[in-house]
Amino acid sequence: MSLAKRSRHGRTAGIPALLLAVLAVTTALAGGPAQAAEPLTLHELAAAQGKYVGSATDNPELSDAPYAAILGSEFGRITPGNSMKWDATEPQQGRFTFERGDAITDFARAHGQGVRGHTLVWHSQLPGWVAALPPEQVESAMTNHIAQVAGHYRGAVEAWDVVNEPFNEDGTFRAGPFLDAMGSDYIATALRAAHAADPDADLYINDYNTDGLGAKSDGMYRLVSELVAEGVPIDGVGFQSHLAVQYGFPEGMRQNLQRFADLGLDVAVTELDVRMQLPADPAKLATQAGYYQRVFEACLAVTRCEGVTVWDYTDKYSWVPGAFPGQGAATLYDENLLPKPVYGTVRTALGGDDGGGGGPGTLKAQYRTQDQATGDNQIKPVLNLVNTGDTPVDLSTVTVRYWFSGEAGAASYTTWCDWSPLGCGTVTHRVVAADTPKAGADHHLDVGFTGGTLAPGAATGDIQLRLNKTDWSNFDEADDYSRGTGTSYTDAPKIAVHIGGALAWGIEP
């Protein structure tokens, strides 16, 4: 378990003394004050790549202060697991209760989080009075429910799961009072009612076992293709991703998300967990970690994938053991609210370290700028490398890669090391044209070292770099992949660090 993770959540004894030792080494090497080494949260790592990481939650859990502290700090969106459902909001016809849902939106507001509203029309957790209505009254009951609930939460909810789980496993429509009364038109009617109630919310259809390619996701694809063609207000498709190690990983998940995105829709992973038959063992946990990694990688690979929500982040409150007796261990944190190794896997998939304890010889890159001018003729990144592992790193094996765009003008560059406590004589630097040029990333500044060792916990301190084109023409740094705007160090997942040729930190463009 990582030192930094536990120290962040404030539950590991003895950390201050260890930290002091780390800081002393850092200061000695860098010749100045230690740099902050607080790891980014899951959400911050995702946000650096334009995504969110969210969690489901429920009202009773919010009074668990340690739980709420992690929920409020680690996740950027929350989804009420139960309290915006029909049985919670309109238990009797026309009598609406919003207290529990309001507690969720209040929590989100207090913690700067977004909310996924869940869910307006679903066959489950539906009060008995709906199923007992004569068919000709179902449509008005449904549109009134949507108007009241989505209207109440207008402005507090980013996205709504307007219709939940409308499909059978074979891709046909699931029976229920809404299908019975209106045929499959109930879906378009629900979306139009939600749009009227909250024109700014993103409107989703959400289902499970649609994560990969197959009959059920084909059914979803046919439906949303028609809705888009007919101009029905739909913004996205949610993929619940309730996975289990014993059933295999959904085939073609990335391709599946992409085909929906290609219809012009957003996609999101809305309820991720990966359960297993208990007891857990190393093989099952390794399979589970691989599934989490692949889900996050799929979302990262699809531009229109907005983010990933886990269906509560801790085994303490997971729905799995209640619904599947004998199964569990499905989430990122254990029942004592400590992050499990799979949490580190997700961090790594998001381009971060694994939370501070990333094994032997792990480095992370931090960045600050000393140049706010984005249109002049020089680029001036300032880097700091931190050894977050527990063994020394041989700096001669390290290459740091800062990505930028060269624009028009000379294709040759001059590079400089202006200052480093390591001595600029030990710092090598050169510009390399990208093998696969991308917008904002057609060149990279490669920084290496002629030698030296970075001790566990130590930091290099400033490596002040500068580059220009040989014709001194201007850059446009605004879209440069690796550039940041902060003037003090923050972790930089868009700066890659290779050790011995293998990627040890960051995500390459």
Interface residues toward ligand G3I, by CB under 6 A: 81-82, 124-125, 164, 208, 240, 271, 319, 323
Q: Are the C-beta atoms of residues 254 and 298 closer than 8 Å to each other?
A: yes
**If we measure between CA atoms, which residue out of 235, 346, 216, 242 comes closest to residue 293?**
346
Q: Are the C-beta atoms of residues 355 and 344 closer than 8 Å to each other?
A: yes
Question: Is 74 designated active site?
Answer: no
Q: How far apart are CA 442 and CA 460, in angstroms?
A: 27
At 195, which amino acid appears?
A: H
Query: Which residue, 160 or 404, is less far from ligand G3I as judged by CB?
Result: 160
The nearest distance, CB 363 to ligand G3I, in angstroms, is: 39
**If we measure between CA atoms, which residue out of 386, 394, 385, 399 comes closest to residue 463?**
385
The nearest distance, CB 126 to ligand G3I, in angstroms, is: 10
236 bridge partner residues = 204, 266
Q: Please enumerate in sequence order all residues whose Cβ is within 8 A of that of 157, keeping only pairs 6 or more positions apart, or say none.
A: 105, 115, 116, 117, 150, 198, 201
Q: Please enumerate in sequence order all residues whose Cβ is within 8 A of that of 235, keeping only pairs 6 or more positions apart, or say none.
A: 159, 202, 203, 204, 265, 266
The nearest distance, CB 242 to ligand G3I, in angstroms, is: 6
Number of Cβ within 10 Å of residue 4's Cβ equals 21
The nearest distance, CB 164 to ligand G3I, in angstroms, is: 6
Query: Which residue, 97 or 140, is less far from ligand G3I as judged by CB?
Result: 97
Query: Which residue, 41 or 164, is less far from ligand G3I as judged by CB?
Result: 164
Q: Please enumerate in sequence order all residues whose Cβ is within 8 A of that of 292, keeping only pairs 6 or more positions apart, or say none.
A: 272, 274, 332, 342, 345, 346, 349
Which among 271, 306, 477, 508 is annotated as catalytic? Answer: 271
Query: Which residue, 116 or 469, is less far from ligand G3I as judged by CB?
Result: 116
Query: Which residue, 319 or 449, is less far from ligand G3I as judged by CB?
Result: 319
Which among 139, 165, 477, 508 is annotated as catalytic? Answer: 165
Q: How far apart are CA 228 and CA 224, in angstroms?
A: 6
Query: Which residue, 208 or 404, is less far from ligand G3I as judged by CB?
Result: 208
Q: Are the C-beta atoms of residues 380 and 369 closer than 8 Å to each other?
A: yes
Element (H, E) at 266: strand 266-277
The nearest distance, CB 293 to ligand G3I, in angstroms, is: 22
Question: Is 306 designated active site?
Answer: no
Query: Which residue, 86 or 481, is less far from ligand G3I as judged by CB?
Result: 86
Distance of CA 185 to the CA centre of its chain: 34
- Classify residue 9 as exposed, middle or buried by CB count within 10 Å of its CB (0-12, 13-18, 19+): middle
Distance of CA 261 to the CA centre of its chain: 18
Report the C-alpha dihedral over residues 407, 479, 362, 296, rounded to 10 degrees. Answer: -120
Query: Which residue, 209 or 464, is less far from ligand G3I as judged by CB?
Result: 209
Q: How far apart are CA 328 and CA 62, in angstroms?
A: 22
The nearest distance, CB 124 to ligand G3I, in angstroms, is: 5
Element (H, E) at 67: helix 65-74
* Catalytic residue positions, numbered: 165, 271
